[in-house]
Amino acid sequence: MFTQLHPQTQTTALGLGTEGLVFGCDYNPEQWTYDTWVEDVALMREAGVNLVAINIFGWSHIEPSPGQYRFDDLDTIIDLLHSQGIGVNLGTGTASPPPWLTTRYPEALPQAADVTTRWPGGRQAYCPSSPVFRDLALRLVRATAERYGDHPAVRLWHVSNELGCHNALCYCDQSAAAFRRWLENRYGAIESLNAAWGTAFWSQRYSTWSEIQPPRTTLSFTNPMQTIDFHRFSSDEQLAQYRAEAEVVRQASSIPVTTNFMVTAHIENLDYWSWADDMDVIANDHYLDHRLDRPHVELSLAADTTRGLAQGEPWLLMEHSTSAVNWQPRNLAKKPGEMVRNTLTHIARGADGVCFFQWRASVKGSEKFHSALMPHAGTQSRVWDESVRLGALVGRLGELKGSRIVADVALVFSWENRWAADLDAHPTSDFSYLDQVHRLYGALWDLGITVDVVAPGAPLDGYSLVVVPSLYLVRDSEAEVVDSFVAQGGTALVTFFSGIVDETDGVRPGGYPGAFRRMLGVRADEFSPLAEGRVVALSDGSTGSLWSEPLELHGAETVTSYADGPLAGHPAVTTNRHGQGHAWYVSTVLEPASLATLVDSVATSAGVTRSRRVDPAHDTTTDSGTGHDVEIVRRTSGDQDWVFVLNHTDEAIAHDIEGYDLVTETALSGRVELAAGGTHVIRQNRKAS
Ligand code: GAL
């Protein structure tokens, strides 16, 4: 019988039956003929593909009418892949219901906040709380798991696909009923809900559970706790679908089970901290977002967050793209070398496998202009050539499988806080939690500091520095972890709008920043957000934007103060000795250069190690020779290190390095050049050096 591999008990290397790293892709054979399958499987071998995700959107193909299963095509493709030694990442097939299902049971369709129906014709058009959807999905999963549960080709079960990507929030009557059950379970008594939701306000008191609705479109601001709890509920509903499918799979199969997360810049409806323990392998999908200033830095943050979800264990990149996607307003092709750098960033930050969406570019449907390993142009193409070279490189990197990343810095990140902190009716609509996270993470990235992303309340032992960007909603117990980390000698860097409310979105009285006041040794009696576009001068000659506070010192010292406006003379940035450690507070949005200077000095005083040292003011290098936008990350195992050097700039750089480069397959020593956009993965033996 299958034993669940929780992160604590996982073996050090991602299993999945491959010798080295996973190099894989999604494949949608339903879109092609048998002859193409045969050709594809041969080409997959040429590209070094060793794991193929199939049956992700297979439902209408394998169950063309209710209860009538047609597994012959799936049998054939699985056997074909197996015959070439390629493993299968087998979808449970439930990602998108077939048209017969929602025609027969229209109540299974999801509804938006204004209770209008979202119709079939796209994908994932089902209500996550629909009992009929759940029953029919589990019937399909049972049939599939019983058929392939011990097939030697199957290495991994892929439950559904990106659960909640489109249907995370459903407001229909079935969802309303499920929401009420969830609330009853959480609060027990209606009066506890009334207290938590603050329904004394605006005549919102509930007498019975049946009066409660999801936060459907209202005339005015909606009760914030109704919205926050609806997010919590919705994340749990999606997880419940995963659990139900995984349980059925596990009754028939001992192969690991997972689903693909969406840890990425814009999708924030699921609290993956509460999902991670249910996964046998943590898997993520990540697409570069060319709308961002520095998409590769966001990619690093996503990868570090995924490693956090895996508690430092190796994880799997289940999807990314070889080149353009199809869903951004302007779908930029990746530049030569960009796919390789993206892939290496994921591996550098803990992935023991990288897969692509998808193998062969569709010729029909809304994803026909999405890139693939095999583009429309076929093998006579840049993308194919780069993909084959990448497959060979990933093959060579097999030796680092199971190695780890060691970080001195923890960054506290919370999806729950994203739901709460960005709500309306707050001090300024210009605030975005993710923006603040990105700013702090970006400053650390620029300094070459590797960061572990951790959940609020996660143990901080072993770190030198904890960074807490705008953690508006925080439980007392979670704030206490940061407090005692500092008291015992650690360093914390906290930014504005932190510690304000508890888990019921109730403001902590007595002044801001609430839960962190004592640790930070400061107090503000109000917020003073800035008018649109306004900046405020600071005593070090720089400026702050978005936010300010009439901060008073209660034990802390001023690092920088406000130099103009109504708050002139008040501290803006402070540091406080708390127990054996230090706690820094930033009460405004610093401009990037001064944030970099601050983070640099906080990290230096905390004794944080870094892969390189950059002078933030001049954007030049003082140690190893590399500059801004050069990413250096180290994976380590025993006496062996692998140093990833990824040049995201358009210029060649020179840096000092010793070791064997697995990219160019040459020994490097002393000052070496790395081409514009180029990469090194350098094996070093720590004993020898
Ligand atoms: C993912 C999804 C894939 C494909 C891809 C396109 O969100 O899982 O099925 O749609 O996006 O970028």
Boundary (domain end) residue, out of 358, 373, 400: 400
- pLDDT tens-digit readout, 435-467: 999 999 999 999 999 999 999 999 999 999 999
Q: What is the 3-state secondary structure (H, E, C) of 26-42?
A: ECCHHHCCHHHHHHHHH
Task: Answer yes or no: are the C-beta atoms of 436 and 421 closer than 8 Å.
Answer: no
The catalytically annotated residue of 162, 245, 268, 386 is 162
pLDDT at 687 over 90: no
Query: 141 C-alpha to center of ligand 1: Å?
Result: 21
Q: Are 681 and 644 in contact (CB under 8 A)?
A: yes
Residues 342 and 386 in one domain: yes
Select from 27, 124, 316, 357 the residue to mutate for testing ligand 1; criterion: most ligand atoms less than 8 Å from CB.
357
How far is Cα 636 from Cα 645, in angstroms, rounded to an integer? 14
Which of 54, 162, 261, 269 to probe ligand 1 with, by most ligand atoms within 8 A of CB? 162
Contact 170, 116 (CB under 8 A): no
**Is residue 287 located within the same domain as residue 343?**
yes
Give the atom of ligand 1 at the shortest distance from the alpha carbon of 262.
Answer: 7
Residue nearest ligand 1's atom 5 by CA: 357
Rounded CA-CA distance 285/305 in Å is 12
Cα–ligand 1 centroid distance for 41 (angstroms): 21
d(CA 246, CA 116): 31
If asked whether residues 293 and 435 sit together in one domain, one would say no
Q: Are residues 597 and 636 in the same domain?
A: no
Ligand 1 atom with minimal separation from the 327 CA: 12
295 phi, psi to nearest 5 deg: -55, -35
Categorize the per-residue pLDDT at 627 as very low, low, confident or very high, splitting at 50, 70 and 90. low
Q: What is the pLDDT of residue 11?
A: 38
Residue 392 has pLDDT above 70, yes or no: yes
| 318 Cα to the center of ligand 1, angstroms | 10
Could you tell me the CATH number of the domain that includes residue 519? Answer: 3.40.50.880
Q: How far apart are the CA of 63 and the centre of ligand 1, in A?
A: 22
Mean pLDDT of the residues in the chain = 94
Q: Are residues 644 and 592 in the same domain?
A: no
Q: Which amino acid is at 346?
A: H
Task: Establish if 218 belongs to a structural domain.
Answer: no
Q: What pLDDT does residue 486 have?
A: 98
**Phi, psi torsion values for 561, nearest 5 degrees:** -125, 165
Q: Which of 237, 268, 313, 319 is catalytic?
A: 319
Report which of residues 379 and 4 the model is more confident about.
379
Distance 330 CA to ligand 1 centre (A): 17
**Cα 327 to ligand 1 centre (Å):** 9
Strands in 249-379 per DSSP E: 257-258, 260-261, 283-285, 315-319, 351-356
Residues 332 and 472 in one domain: no
Asked whether residue 432 falls in the same domain as residue 367, the answer is no
Q: Structure tokens of 433?
A: 């939690």
Residues in contact with ligand 1 (CB, 6 Å cut-off): 161-162, 165, 285, 287, 319, 325, 357, 367, 370
Are residues 127 and 276 part of one domain?
yes
Non-local CB neighbours of 105 within 8 Å, separated by 6+ positions: 130, 132, 133
From the CA of 231, how far away is ligand 1's center (Å)?
Answer: 23
Residue-level pLDDT at 605: 97
d(CA 4, CA 642) in angstroms, rounded, equals: 30
109 in any annotated domain: yes
**Is-contact 519 478, C-beta < 8 A?**
no
Residue appearing with tokens 């109730």: 506
Give the H/E segment covering residue 336: none
Q: Is residue 178 part of a domain?
A: no
CATH code: domain of residue 342? 3.20.20.80
DSSP state of 468: E
Domain presence at residue 194 = no
**CA proximity to 480, closest of 514, 531, 526:** 514
Radius of gyration of the chain (CA): 26
Could you tell me the distance, in angstroms and rounded to a whole number, from the CA of residue 75 to the centre of ligand 1? 24
Could you identify the residue written with the tokens 């264990």? 313
Q: Quick check: is 319 catalytic?
A: yes
* Residue ID of nearest Cα to ligand 1 atom 3: 357
Query: Is residue 107 flagged as an active site residue?
Result: no
In ligand 1, the atom with minimum distance to the C-alpha of 287 is: 12
Q: Would 221 be classed as within a structural domain?
A: no
pLDDT band of residue 432 (cuts 50, 70, 90) is very high
Say whether both 36 and 129 belong to one domain.
Answer: yes
Confidence of residue 3 (pLDDT cuts 50, 70, 90): very low
Q: What is the pLDDT of residue 13?
A: 56
Q: What is the tens place of the pLDDT at every residue in 87-124?
A: 999 999 999 999 999 999 999 999 999 999 999 999 99
Centroid of ligand 1 to alpha carbon of 674 (angstroms): 33
The alpha carbon of 153 and the centre of ligand 1 are apart by a number of angstroms equal to 24
Question: How far apart, in whole angstroms, are the C-alpha atoms of residue 459 and residue 549?
Answer: 30
pLDDT at residue 267 tops 80: no
Angle, CA of 258, 264 and 270, to the nearest 5°: 60
**Section 52-77 average pLDDT:** 98
SS3 breakdown of the chain: % helix, strand, coil, rounded to 5? 35, 20, 45
In a domain, 170, yes or no: no
Residue 628 has pLDDT above 80, yes or no: no
Does the structure show a pLDDT above 70 at 619?
Answer: no
Model pLDDT for residues 661-673, shown as the tens digit of each residue: 999 999 999 999 9
Nearest protein Cα to ligand 1, atom 4: 357
Asked whether residue 346 falls in the same domain as residue 438, the answer is no
pLDDT score, position 79: 98
Which residue has the CA at smallest separation from atom 2 of ligand 1? 162
User: What's the pLDDT at 265?
Assistant: 75
Q: Whose C-alpha lies nearest to ligand 1, atom 7?
A: 162
Q: Which of 92, 319, 320 to mutate to test the pocket of ligand 1 (most atoms within 8 A of CB)?
A: 319
**Residue of 285, 288, 339 to mutate, ligand 1, most atoms within 8 A of C-beta:** 285
- Based on the fold, state whether residues 484 and 514 are members of the same structural domain: yes
Which of the listed residues 564, 582, 605 is the one where a domain comes to its end?
A: 605
Residue 357 CA, ligand 1 centroid: distance in Å:
7
- In this prediction, residue 609 carries a pLDDT of 84
Q: Which of the listed residues 366, 367, 368, 371 should we mutate to test ligand 1's pocket, taking the one with most ligand atoms within 8 A of CB? A: 367
Same-domain check for residues 579 and 640: no
Instruction: State the pLDDT at residue 686.
Output: 81
Task: Tell me the two tokens of residue 196.
Answer: 């938590």
CA distances from 225 to 189, 238, 423, 426, 538 (A): 16, 20, 10, 14, 36
Residue range of the domain that includes 389: 22-165+238-400
The minimum-distance atom of ligand 1 relative to the CA of 57 is: 9
Q: Is residue 460 part of a domain?
A: yes
Predicted TM-score of the model (pTM): 0.96
Query: What CATH number does the domain containing 666 carry?
Result: 2.60.40.1180
The Cα-based distances of 380 to 320, 374, 377 in angstroms read 22, 10, 6
At 266 the pLDDT is 75
Choose one of 605, 623, 649: the last residue of a domain.
Answer: 605
The length of the chain, given as a count of residues: 689
Residue nearest to atom 10 of ligand 1 (CA): 367
Number of domains in the chain: 3
pLDDT tens digits for range 545-556? 999 999 999 999
Ligand 1 centroid to 285 CA: how many Å? 8
Residue at 671 is within a domain: yes
- Average pLDDT of the residues in 611-636: 62
Q: 362 alpha carbon to ligand 1 midpoint, in Å?
A: 12
Measuring from atom 11 of ligand 1, which residue has the nearest CA?
Answer: 357
